[in-house]
Chains A and B, each alone.
Chain A
Amino acid sequence: MSSVLVVLEERGGKVSRISWEALAGGQRLGSQLGLPVCVAIVGAQTESLAAEIAAQPLGKVVRVEHPLLNHYTADGFTLALQQLIQSESPAYVILPHTYQVRDFAPALAARLGQVLISDVVAIGDGPVFTRQLMQGRLNGNYRHTGDGPCLISMQAGAFRAENSERPTNPAEVVTFTPTVESNQIRTKPGEPFRGSSQTVDLGSAQLIVSVGRGIKEAENIPLVQELATALGAELAASRPICDNGWLPLERQVGSSGHTVAPKLYLAVGISGAIQHLVGMKGSQCIVAINKDPDAPIFEVADYGIVGDLFEVVPALTEALKAARQ
Chain B
Amino acid sequence: MKIIVAIKQVPERDAHIRIDSTGNWIEESGLQYALNESDAYALEEALQLKEKFASAGDEVIVLSAGPERVGTTIREALAKGADRAIHIVCDDLGARDALGVAKLLAAAIKQENPDLVLSGLQSEDLGLGQTGVIVAELLGLPHATLILHVEGTESGLKVKRELEEGWFQTVELPMPAVLTIQSGGNKLRYATLMGIKRAKTKEVRELAASELDGDAAPVVVLEQVTMPRKQKSTQILPGTAKEAAAALVEKLKFEVRVL
Q: A: which residues have CB within 8 A of B?
A: 74-75, 98-99, 102-104, 106-107, 109-111, 113-119, 128, 131-146, 148, 186-195, 198, 206-207, 213, 239-240, 242-245, 249-250, 252, 255-259, 263-264, 274, 281, 284-288, 292, 296, 298-308, 311-312, 314-316, 318-320, 323-324
Contacts and interface: CB of A to CB of B under 8 A. Distances in A.
Given A107-B134, A304-B236, A114 B219 contact: yes
B226 A132 contact: no
B220 A103 contact: no
A304 B226 contact: no
Most-contacted residue by chain B among A74, A131, A136 (CB, 10 A)? A74
Contacts of B194: none
Most-contacted residue by chain B among A98, A115, A249, A285 (CB, 10 A)? A115
Contacts of B165: 256-259
A48 B143 CA distance: 31
A109 B146 CA distance: 19
Given A119-B128, A285-B256, A305-B236, 10 more contacts: A99-B164, A116-B98, A119-B129, A134-B11, A135-B124, A186-B142, A249-B166, A302-B235, A305-B237, A316-B249
B56 interface: no
Interface of B: 11, 13-14, 17, 19, 26, 97-99, 102, 124-130, 133-134, 136-138, 142-146, 162-174, 182-184, 187, 217-232, 234-237, 241-242, 244-246, 248-249, 251-253, 256, 258-259
A194 B166 contact: yes
B232 A299 contact: yes
A41 to B, nearest CB: 19
A324 B138 CA distance: 62
A166 B122 CA distance: 40
Given A138-B17, A264-B252, A303 B225 contact: no
Nearest to A128: B223
Given A193-B169, A195-B168, A99 B219 contact: no
A138 B138 contact: no
Nearest to B128: A118
Q: Would you list the 5 A-B pairs with minimal beta carbon distance, nearest first?
A: A146-B219, A243-B184, A106-B130, A190-B170, A186-B142
A250 B149 CA distance: 18
Given A139-B225, A311-B241, A115 B11 contact: no
Contacts of A256: 162, 164-165, 182
A308 B242 CA distance: 12
Given A99-B146, A145-B220, A301-B232, A110 B99 contact: yes
Contacts of A213: 13
- Which secondary structure dominates where chain B touches chain A? mixed
7 contacts: A110-B137, A187-B173, A194-B168, A285-B258, A287-B248, A288-B234, A302-B235
B171 A304 contact: no
Contacts of A99: 145-146, 162-164
Contact of B137 (A111, A131, A288, A314): A111
A103 B146 contact: yes
A319 B26 contact: no
Contact of B164 (A98, A142, A148, A190): A98
A301 B223 contact: no
Nearest to A71: B169
B130 A192 contact: no
Contacts of A315: 241-242, 244-245
Most-contacted residue by chain A among B99, B127, B221, B246 (CB, 10 A)? B127
B40 to A, nearest CB: 11
Given A99-B164, A188-B173, A141 B222 contact: yes
A281 B259 CA distance: 21
B228 A136 contact: yes
A256 B164 CA distance: 5
Nearest to A291: B14
A191 B172 contact: no
A257 B26 CA distance: 31
A303 B251 contact: yes
Contacts of A324: 259
Contacts of B130: 102, 106, 115-116, 118
Nearest to B100: A115
A224 to B, nearest CB: 14
Most-contacted residue by chain A among B223, B232, B234 (CB, 10 A)? B234
Nearest to B242: A315
A140 B225 contact: yes
B173 A186 contact: yes
A239 B228 contact: no
A132 B134 CA distance: 20
Nearest to A288: B234
B227 A139 contact: yes
B232 to A, nearest CB: 6
Given A115-B97, A263-B258, A264-B258, A323 B127 contact: no
Nearest to A314: B241
